[in-house]
Amino acid sequence: MFLRLLIRPLSLMAALAVAVPALADEVNLYTTREPGLVKPLLEAFSDRTGIKVNTIFMKDGLAERVSSEGERSPADLLMAVDFGNLTDLVEQGVTQAANSETLNEVVPEALRDANGHWYALSMRARLVYADKDLDLENFHYEDLAKPEWRDRVCLRSGQHPYNTALIAHMIARNGEEATETWLRGVKDNLARRAGGGDRQVARDILGDLCDIGIGNSYYVGLMRSGDSGAEQQQWGEAIQVVLPRFKDGGTHVNVSGAALARYAPNRDNAVKLLEFLVSEEAQALYARANYEYPVSQKAELHPLVAAFGELNVDTLPVAEISSHRHAASLLVDRVGFDN
């Protein structure tokens, strides 16, 4: 009886359980970047090379999945956002060196792993979104803790990787003690509980819930361009964008990047895809379609992004910022930033 109850669904399952065949002209991409963002790039790559790109988009657990698949993993290329996530992949031992002259040439040293395990493909700056009527010349990240901003600041969760990276950068610059004082100040200035996304900061400024906040650069492009609809365009238009700096440094940027999977079955194709992603054509796409800062000096910025002003990336090496990430996360807890 129970056999018959089980057999039918089992046979259906067997039909679904067809493993991906390792054809010669394919490359398998595991990505935590949203499919809508990378699709135009992958299509362009397939057009140029005839290599088919199979993708799976996931959010969390990329390293865990690849490492559980072990040497049988079909993964060729692992794409992720945030340098912390990229260094995590290397630490979990699921990557290998790409050994590509092209990559080393195009991607600046500060934006890649010292051993060639991961390469940044694009950059995003962490900016100030503010009410249009404010005068914010020479704004520093440190200023956000000043008492004049009491009940006027909107931010996403302090535990979000974008904010943890910023706080880690602050620790690297100013030390943990000063950063704690700063974070407590910012917490006191919050107009609402930390949460939501960066775009909600713009919307809350439009809704007069707050006057100032922090968000990533490409969101401004996505909103202002009207790509995400008329409503968001209104949010984007409601704010002014300022490129803040650290008191003794430049602007905090984070990266999106990719790493070659340790057991990549289509290694050559994966390297080709990586090299394509830093090519002039792809870098221009990153800038044009996603409103990101390209890593290649040759590609031009989107006019909406260029209008923010000149970006002076802080000079601290990514590896050093990344090393304070854990401390930053614990600091967020200690301060009770999200409570």
Partner 1 sequence: MTTELVASRPLAPGFFSTAVGRCGRCLVGVGPGWLLVCALVALLVLLPVLSLWAHALEGSGDLWPHLRTYVLPQAFANTVILLAGVGLLVIGIGTGSAWLVTAYEFPGRRFLSWALLLPLAVPTYIVAYVYADLLHPVGPLQTLLRDLLGIASPRDLRLWDIRSMGGCILLLGLVLYPYVYLPVRAMFSMQAAGVLDAARTLGAGAGRRFCRVALPLARPAIAVGTSLALMETLNDIGASEFLGVRTLTVSIYATWLNRSSLPGAAQIALVMLVLVVSLIMLERWARRRQRYADSPRQQRPLTRKSLTGWRWSLVTLAWLPVLLGFLAPALYLLVAAAKRVAFAGIEPQIVQQAFNTVMISAVATAVTVAIAFVLVYTLRQARSATGVRALVRIASLGYAIPGTVLAIGLLGPLGWADGALDNTALWLTGAGTGMVLGGTGFALVYAYTVRFLAIGNGSIESGFDKVPRSLDDAAQSLGAKAVCRARRVHLPLARPAMAAATLLIFVDCMKELPATLLLRPLNFETLATHLYGEAARGTYESGALAALVIVLAGLVPIILLSRYGHNAAR
Q: Give residues 312-331 in contact with partner 1 (rule: CB under 8 A).
A: 325-326, 329-330
Least Å distance, CB 231 to partner 1, is 7
Which of 46, 49, 54, 233 is close enough to bind partner 1 by CB under 8 A?
Answer: 54
Which of residues 106 and 160 has its CB atom nearest to partner 1 in the complex? Answer: 160
Give CA 223 to chain center in angstroms: 17
Q: Is 164 in the site for partner 1 (CB under 8 A)?
A: yes
The yes or no reply on residue 206 touching partner 1 (CB under 8 A) is yes
Looking at 5, 101, 114, 138, which residue binds partner 1 (CB under 8 A)?
A: 5
Residues with Cβ within 8 Å of 307's Cβ and at least 6 positions away in sequence, in order, are none
CA atoms within 13 A on the CB side of 223: 25
- CA 37-38-44 angle, to 5 degrees, is 125
Q: Which is nearer to partner 1, 65 or 245 (CB)?
A: 65
Nearest CA among 37, 31, 79, 83 for reference residue 253: 83
Least separation in angstroms between residue 97's CB and partner 1 is: 23
Q: Could you tell me the smallest distance in angstroms from the CB atom of residue 299 to partner 1?
A: 22
Asked whether position 61 contacts partner 1 by CB under 8 A, the answer is: yes
The window from 206-214, 240-248, 292-300, 309-317 that contacts partner 1 (CB under 8 A) reads 206-214
Residue 184 found at the interface with partner 1 (CB under 8 A) = no
What residues numbered 87-106 form the site for partner 1, per CB under 8 A? 88
Amino acid, res. 178: A
207 in contact with partner 1 (CB under 8 A): yes
* DSSP-based three-state secondary structure for 278: coil
User: For 73, left (φ over 0), alpha (ψ -120 to 50), or beta?
Assistant: beta
Is beta strand 153-154 parallel, antiparallel or unpaired with respect to 212-216?
A: parallel
Residue 12 binding partner 1, by CB under 8 A: yes
Distance CA 128, CA 122 (A): 20
